[in-house]
Structure 1
Amino acid sequence: MSSTTAELDDSLRKKIIEKPDMVLDDPNVMRALVAANERAMGTNIVDLRGIAMERLETRLDRLEDTHRSVIAAAYENLAGTNQIHRAVLRLLDPESFAVFMEILRGDLRDILRVDALALILETTQEEAGAAVERVGDVLKFTEAGFVDSYVAQGRSYGGDRPVILRQIQAGPSRIYGDRGADLRSEACLRLDLGAGRLPGLLVFGAEDPHQFTPQHGTDLLTFFGGVFERCMRRWLS
């Protein structure tokens, strides 16, 4: 029994001597060796080198976590950029306003992965609003001043921001139709439709309360809103 153990020890010793990196690169083995060394020194001795190693390990773990977070954020940003690019290209496809509206009802909502979408145009022509506005339809005509009041919702700040992201209890049926009751967050994109025209608003609604929150960046949606309002100017000219 003892000879077998000795032979095993000799074999292991030889392997370690030949490839010491095998031990040095294994954090679990190194921890076990350091712990055995501390036990051998007794409780009266403070191993400053061991303490320094523990602190370095903690910093390394922290750095690895940060590295993983940065990579995850980069992939998320890339996916979001690709998504917006696809949506912009789809907006440029239609050759008529009717087809443009059909894209809003279908493809655009699917590409952006939102549960509801509405295009709000302010107008002073009540007859046009009554004729076009339908519950559940994408296009909504409202009275002048509606965009500012809807975006602000009684707050005095953020009124001039092109994109507002927020969580909601529900979306108004006037805007979202029957889907409004299920919505828990929304994005509001202000639209500048050109000189002499009243403003517009493009809104996205989501059932996920975390899809649109004030903590999220708005650069991509600001860019998308700029493209969208330029498309609208072409159709309104």
Structure 2
Amino acid sequence: MTAAPEARTPGDETAALKARIAAEPALILDDRELMQALIAAGAPQGRNVVDLRGALVGRLESRLDQLSRTHRSVIAAAYENLAGVSQVHRATLALLDAESFEAVLAALLDETPAIIAVDAARLCIEVDDDGSDPAAGLPSALAERVVALPEGGVAAYVALGDAPEREGVWLRPTPPEAELLYGDEAGRLGSEALIALDLGDGRVGVVAFAAEDARRFSPDHGVDLVVFLGGVISRVLRRRLP
């Protein structure tokens, strides 16, 4: 014989409902229709409605704070991006205005670092075994920042560390071997951007921009502007390289 189901009183159902709400208040707080109904009920319904109103206000304030923080982050990122675009445009104009190889190097190694706010720049070009020097005839202030590398030297340097290559760009902390490019300056430099150059006629090169700030160039940063600048540098150098 099947036992009859135990009868539940209205008091039992009320207690069960209270327990469920206490355990999962989000059932009400996240339900717009329920909250509107409770708020519309007004203060005469007693303290419980007021408490729920307070909880709702607290939750809305929390969400508003989160939205405000997100909004500020988006605005800051937009301004930073606009500043970056402006810097790259100015550097591009400086490079395009150069009318000789020496002028290109001055724009690349002096003006561009100042414009994009980095602390060091190097142009690295692989040379043949015949001892040709891409910096021959240049003023010493420029020549010392044009680095002649042996065949395979560019690939060997960019392979240092574990930063990924993205569209011919590496953004990373400066490796212990950074002295190969920056000489005595290497010790104060914390991060670098390496940009592969298409110099034509089988010539291999890379331009390196380095900053003292270790967070200036990071693998998780975007590379669109850096890729664009690299394209400009490659085109200008192809026309001016001796």
Alignment pair present for 1:139 and 2:150: no
Following the alignment from structure 2 to structure 1, what is the Cα–Cα distance between the partners of residues 114 and 135?
A: 28
Q: SS of 1:128's equivalent? A: coil
CA offsets per residue over residues 55-96 of structure 1, 9 Å max, x none? Answer: 111111111111111001100000011001000000001111
Task: Give distance in 2, aligned partners of 1:225 and 1:54.
Answer: 50
Instruction: State the shift of 1:104 in Å.
Output: 2.7
Partner of 2:85: 81
1:166 aligned residue: 172
**Greater Cα shift, 168-177 or 105-114:** 168-177
Partner residue of 1:220? Answer: 225
Matches within 5 A, 1:147-226: 147-153=154-160, 158-159=164-165, 161-168=167-174, 170=176, 172-194=178-200, 196-226=201-231
Question: One-letter code of the match for 2:154?
Answer: V
Contact 1:115–1:205, Cα closer than 8 Å, also in 2:
yes
Distance 1:171 1:153, change over 3 A: closer
Aligned to 1:172, the other structure's residue is in SS state helix
Tell me the distance in 2 between the aligned counterparts of 1:187 and 1:62: 34
Name the CA distance, whole Å, in 1 between partners of 2:61 and 2:150. 63
Q: Structure 1 segments of 4 or more deviating over 4 A?
A: 130-136
Cα–Cα, structure 1 residues 119 and 80, in superposed 2: closer, same or farther, change >3 Å? same
**Is the contact made by 2:160 and 2:175 (CA closer than 8 Å) also made in structure 1?**
no
**1:159: how far off?**
4.9
C-alpha displacement of 1:46: 7.1
Following superposition of structure 1 onto structure 2, how do residues 31-42 of structure 1 map, counting pairs within 5 Å? none
Q: Give, in angstroms, the shift of residue 218 of structure 1.
A: 0.8
Which piece of structure 1 moves more, 139-148 or 103-112? 103-112
1:53 aligns with 2:57: yes
Question: Matches of 2:78 and 2:177 in 1, distance apart?
Answer: 31
Is the Cα–Cα contact under 8 Å of residues 166 and 223 in structure 2 kept in the other structure?
A: no
- For 1:88 and 1:207, how far apart are their aligned partners in 2? 23
What is the Cα deviation at residue 174 of structure 1? 2.8
1:168 and 1:105, CA in 2 relative to 1: closer, same or farther beyond 3 A? Answer: closer
Instruction: Give the distance between the partners of 1:107 and 1:148, measured in 2 at CA.
Output: 27
Root mean square deviation of aligned Cα = 2.8
Conserved? CA contact 2:172–2:219, under 8 Å:
yes
Report the Cα offset of residue 125 of structure 1: 3.8
Matched AA of 1:207? E
- Match for residue 114 of structure 1? 118
SS at match of 1:197: coil
Give the AA of the match of 1:85.
Answer: H
C-alpha displacement of 1:198: 2.5
